[in-house]
Structure 1
Amino acid sequence: MLLVVLVAAAALLAGLAANRYLRPRLLHEDDDTGMAVKDLVGPLLTLTVLLLAFVLVTANGSYGKAEVASRGEARALDQLVETAEYAPQAQRARIQADAVCYARAVRTQEWPAMADGEGSAAPSVWSTDFRLTFRTLEGKPAFGMLVAADNKRSDEREERLTQATASIPSAILWFLLATLTITVIGLGICLPRRNNRGQVITLVVITALLTTTLCIIRDVDRPFGGIIQVEPTAITEAERQATRDFLAHSTLTELPCDDQGNRREA
């Protein structure tokens, strides 16, 4: 980092020195000729657009990973419920009930918490129950399949929580905002003072587009808390199917959790 700053500063000083001492000998031009401000704003605008495009691609990648992890977790939970059909009746009922409660805890408690980049301890209560039930099935044919499905669920949940945190540091967003501000000011300086209605409208449109791009970057970088957010559609469907299977095959009529995924009192 320090090397980059030093090299850039040295290049700036070398350029100013060349302008002061070397340019008059090589070009033999007047001191007031050369590049105008508008000639310098063009590269700045290009740099701003490229930076915004690069960061937008990065943010969109994080959003995509969050969506894929959410669907993967729901599929793994559904597979866990289906695999429980090969377990004895008591363990099957407990696994399917825990799956319903896990999905409820993710949907109602962990999903809102991810808007702030946080997680929730509520789903972990039921994932612990999964493992306790699996211990009673060691040596049974369904044991390996259940453990594999639960490991997949755990991995996808971890990936989902990882993507809930911002992938673009705040310093980069502030840098983009500063670059955008300097670019707009530079373009404004280059506008003619009279008969400039068309140029002003164009500047307003450019400013709106650049600002919208930066807002989209900020929003997409928060896949569970922005306007464009990943909805808990997949986990809700997994909850519905797990509830159906639990009620269809279990002699129990009440789940061990409430509608928020919290354990009921014994």
Structure 2
Amino acid sequence: MLTTLLVVGLALVLGLAANRLLRPRLVEDQADALTVRDFMEPLLTLAVLVLAFVMVLAAESYGDAEDAAREEAGVVDHLFEVADFAPDPQRVRLQADAVCYARAVHAIEWPAMVRGSASTAPSVWSTDFRKQLKGVDRQDAVFGILIDADRDRSEARQARIAESTPAIAPLFYWFMLITLAVTVIVLAFCLPLRRFATELATLVVLTILLTASLLIIHDVDRPFGGIIDVPATSIADASRDISDDFVAAHGEAALPCDAQGRKPAA
């Protein structure tokens, strides 16, 4: 960072020095000098490039969050199905943990991610799931499958939680906002003084488009808390499916949690 500041600062000083010392000798006095309009094109190009870069970054974050949420739901459903082949007495509790985990993610952790945070509620059931696995014979073929599935679930959850926080640093967002603001100011400054209705309308439209792009980036960069959010459809469907299967086989009373995935009060 220091090197960049030094190089750019030195370039500016050398350029100004050359302007004062060398330009009068090399260029005629009648030569056209740069005007504000000459700076418009590179400034507008900079603003568009910054917007494009940040929009791609935000879109990737949104896509990663969507993929992680979908993968987690699929793994939880797979965990429940594989646990059906586990030996007694772990089989029922492993399936119950999968149901309670899915309920906790959907009802408790998903709303928490709107604020960019996680919840400890699902961890209660993932911890109990691993505790129950200790009672399964390690030579049993289903043991390795359950271990792998639990690892995949954990990785998908961590990815989902990580993507709930903005991928764009606040400093970079402010830099982008200031760049757009300066661009609009310069464009407005260069409007003709008379009969500028068409130019003014174009500037207003351009300002609206640039502002809308910035707002979309800000929204998409918060995959679980914006208007364009990642819905909880996948985990909700998985939770409903495995809950129905479990209740049909063992009854609601066999679950160690309520409908929100919380442990009942003692």
Any residues of structure 2 matched to 1:61-80 within 5 Å, and which? 61-80=60-79
* Residue 24 of structure 1, CA deviation: 2.2
Unaligned runs of 5+ in 2: none
Residue 75 of structure 2 aligns to a residue whose secondary structure is: helix
Amino acid of the structure 2 residue aligned with 1:163:
E
Check conservation: 1:69, 1:159, Cα contact below 8 A.
yes
Please list the CA deviations of residues 126-145 of structure 1 after superposition, one character each: whole Å capped at 9, or x if unmatched.
00110111111123332111
Deviation string, structure 1 residues 233-262 (Cα, Å, up to 9, x no partner): 110111011112212332664422112211
Matched, 1:217 2:217: yes
TM-aligned CA deviation for residue 167 of structure 1: 1.1
Amino acid at match of 1:124: S
Other structure's SS at 2:22 match: helix
Establish whether residue 106 from structure 1 lines up as the match of residue 105 from structure 2: yes
- TM-score, normalised by the number of residues in structure 1: 0.95
* Cα drift, residue 218 of structure 1: 1.0
Residue aligning to 2:95: 96
Partner letter of residue 90 of structure 1? P
* Aligned pairs, number: 265
CA RMSD of aligned residues (A): 1.5
Using the alignment, how far apart are the partners of 1:154 and 1:116 within structure 2? Answer: 21
Contact 2:117–2:164, Cα closer than 8 Å, also in 1: yes
CA contact (8 A) 1:96 1:245 kept: no
Q: What's the counterpart of residue 202 of structure 2?
A: 202
* Map of 1:81 onto structure 2: 80
The answer for unaligned runs of 5 or more in structure 1 is none
Determine what percentage of the aligned residue pairs are the same residue.
52
Amino acid at match of 1:130: F
Tell me which residue corresponds to 1:14: 14
Query: C-alpha displacement at 1:148, in angstroms?
Result: 1.1
Offset of 1:265 from its aligned partner? Answer: 3.5
Checking the alignment, whether the CA contact within 8 Å between 1:59 and 1:217 is kept in structure 2 is yes
Q: 1:172 Cα deviation (Å)?
A: 0.2
Distance in 1 between residues matched to 2:152 and 2:125, nearest whole Å: 15
**1:51 and 1:176 in contact (8 A); partners too:** yes
Structure 1 stretches (4+) deviating beyond 6 angstroms?
none
Cα deviation for residue 213 of structure 1 reads 1.0
Query: Which whole-Å CA distance do the structure 1 matches of 2:196 and 2:251 have between them?
Result: 79
Amino acid at match of 2:25: R
Change (3 A) 1:210 1:251: closer
Q: Distance in 2 between matches of 1:189 and 1:175?
A: 21
Whole-Å separation in 2 of the counterparts to 1:3 and 1:164: 34
* 16 and 145 in structure 1: CA distance in 2 versus 1, 3 angstrom threshold: same
SS in 2 for 1:35: coil
Deviations 1:161-202 (A, max 9, x none): 111111111000000111111100000010001100000011
Determine the C-alpha separation between the residues in 2 that align with 1:21 and 1:3: 26
* Alignment partner, residue 151 of structure 2: 151
Matching residue of 2:136: 137
Equivalent position amino acid for 1:156 in 2: A
More displaced stretch, 182-191 vs 8-17:
8-17
